[in-house]
């Protein structure tokens, strides 16, 4: 494959090391998301090995709720990733578009189930995603979840520290305390994700990072009145039971 096989369309988003464009393969008119990574940027960011590891991980992951890396190629300046196109874009935007900023129980259950399904598959393949949050979930034309952005995935178990960036709201206690962790970090995030679907905001949201840390470490959740007993029971079990077990 090469760039000449595609017609490039609108930009879909900007990543750290490049951009994502809507593109159409010229022969079959197949729609894809074409992500460009600048080689010089990867070398400068000293992430070329990590990107190669991500490509290695993603080419072996095939699951209906994991965004497929269809193929990749490169030219002198750039690496091109041909990714599945998810026609309804970022779930995060869909969540914010809801009248009261949250999903009803039916949609929350559907999305939580589909993410859990994708995570079970990842864990069976010894991959920890580590960065489950609405921003990393995409929606297909049929409204199904595609788990994307394995920017922080590692092979389990791992004690690999990584620089904290983006939201802390999803970090489980053992990562906040820099301990070794295992696939359970994804369970924790799944519980936080389910909470955010139902309440419209993550449970440890605070004015300061320090406050968020403290709430996470003490696992202090202020249950939103929007979360019914059944959902509260599920989230507690998915999120806290494992951590009581681990800690
Ligand atoms: C190193 C490599 C193996 C990492 C591979 N994974 C990624 O690069 C993660 N990634 C996925 C994307 C991405 C971003 C947006 C889309 C979209 C998409 N569809 C949209 C519809 C409407 C508005 C925006 C949309 N974005 N479909 N597929 C995508 C894929 C960007 N980075």
Q: How confident is the model at residue 135 (pLDDT cuts 50, 70, 90)?
A: confident
* Nearest-angstrom CA–CA distance, 201 and 195: 8
Q: Is the bond preceding 149 in cis, omega lying within 30 degrees of 0? A: no
Looking at every residue in the chain, the average pLDDT score rounds to 87
- Residue-wise pLDDT for 139-154, tens only, equals 999 999 999 875 545 5
The residues that bridge with 193 in the sheet, in sequence order, are none
Predicted model pTM: 0.88
Q: How confident is the model at residue 165 (pLDDT cuts 50, 70, 90)?
A: very low
- Residue-wise pLDDT for 181-222, tens only, equals 677 888 889 999 999 999 999 999 999 999 998 998 888 888
* Catalytic-labelled residue, pool 5, 117, 131, 233: 131
Q: What is the pLDDT of residue 59?
A: 87
Choosing from 39, 83, 132 the residue with most ligand 1 atoms within 8 A of its CB, the one to mutate for a pocket test is 83
- The answer to whether residues 221 and 204 touch, using CB atoms and an 8 Å cutoff, is yes
Is the confidence metric ipTM above 0.90 for this complex? yes
184-199 helix and 105-124 helix, angle to the nearest 10 degrees: 170
Q: In which element (H, E) is residue 165 found?
A: none
Which one has a higher pLDDT value, 6 or 242?
Answer: 6
Asked whether residue 117 carries a pLDDT value surpassing 90, the answer given is yes
149: annotated active-site residue: no
Whether the CB of 54 sits within 6 Å of ligand 1: yes
């Amino acid at each position: 494959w090469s760039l000449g096989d595609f017609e490039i369309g609108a930009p879909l988003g900007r990543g750290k090391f490049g951009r994502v464009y809507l593109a159409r393969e010229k022969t079959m008119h197949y729609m894809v998301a074409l992500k460009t990574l600048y080689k010089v940027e990867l070398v400068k960011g000293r992430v070329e090995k990590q990107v190669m590891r991500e490509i290695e991980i993603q080419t072996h992951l095939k699951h209906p709720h994991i965004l497929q890396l269809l193929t990749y190629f490169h030219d002198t300046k750039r690496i091109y990733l041909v990714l599945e196109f998810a026609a309804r874009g970022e779930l995060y935007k869909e969540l914010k578009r809801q009248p009261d900023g949250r999903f009803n129980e039916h949609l929350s259950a559907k999305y939580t189930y589909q993410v859990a399904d994708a995570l079970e598959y990842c864990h069976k393949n010894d991959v920890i995603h580590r960065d489950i949050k609405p921003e990393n979930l995409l929606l297909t034309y049929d409204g199904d979840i595609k788990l994307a952005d394995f920017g922080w995935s590692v092979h389990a178990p791992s004690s690999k520290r990584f620089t904290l960036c983006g939201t802390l709201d999803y970090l489980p206690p053992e990562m906040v305390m820099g301990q070794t962790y295992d696939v359970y970090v994804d369970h924790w995030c799944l519980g936080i994700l389910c909470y955010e679907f139902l309440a419209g905001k993550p449970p440890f949201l605070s004015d300061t990072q320090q406050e968020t840390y403290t709430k996470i470490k003490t696992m202090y959740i202020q249950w939103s009145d929007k979360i019914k007993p059944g959902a509260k029971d599920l989230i507690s079990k998915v999120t806290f039971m494992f951590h009581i077990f681990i800690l």
